């Protein structure tokens, strides 16, 4: 099991609003910074909480405050998932 960019996109929209088909979210957002996408630190806390429920892994707080892009967040989640197996 691993998390894809599309799954993260869905979670972001569910947690903090936005539109999956909107130009700023629809394209390749993996390397775009969350700040540029319009998701602030609170949105990321909400996202981490949803990831924990959906994927059963906890993103450590100290790493969450440093994470800048979707790719980084997916890396942390999938790293945990791999380790959890």
Is 61 an interacting residue with respect to another protein (CB under 8 A)?
A: no
Residue-wise burial string across 40-76, b where 16 or more C-beta atoms lie within 10 A, e elsewhere: eeebbbbbbebbeeebebebeeeebeebebbebbbeb
Q: Least distance to another protein from the beta carbon of 37, Å?
A: 10
Per CB under 8 A, the segment of 17-25, 27-35, 63-71, 72-80 that binds another protein is 17-25
Is 64 an interacting residue with respect to another protein (CB under 8 A)?
A: no
Q: Please tell me what DSSP assigns to residue 25.
A: H
Is 49 an interacting residue with respect to another protein (CB under 8 A)?
A: yes
Residue 77 in tokens: 């989640």
Among 3, 8, 11, 15, binds another protein (CB under 8 A): 15
Residue count of the chain: 85
Residues lying near another protein in the complex (CB under 8 A): 14-19, 38, 42, 45-46, 49, 52-53
């Amino acid at each position: 099991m691993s998390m894809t960019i599309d799954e993260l996109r869905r979670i972001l929209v569910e947690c903090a609003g936005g539109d999956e088909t909107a130009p700023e979210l629809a394209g390749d957002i993996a390397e775009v910074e969350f700040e540029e996408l319009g998701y602030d630190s609170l949105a990321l806390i909400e996202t981490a909480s949803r990831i924990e429920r959906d994927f059963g892994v906890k993103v450590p707080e100290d790493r969450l405050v440093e994470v800048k892009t979707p790719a980084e967040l997916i890396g942390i989640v999938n790293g945990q998932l791999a380790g959890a197996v």
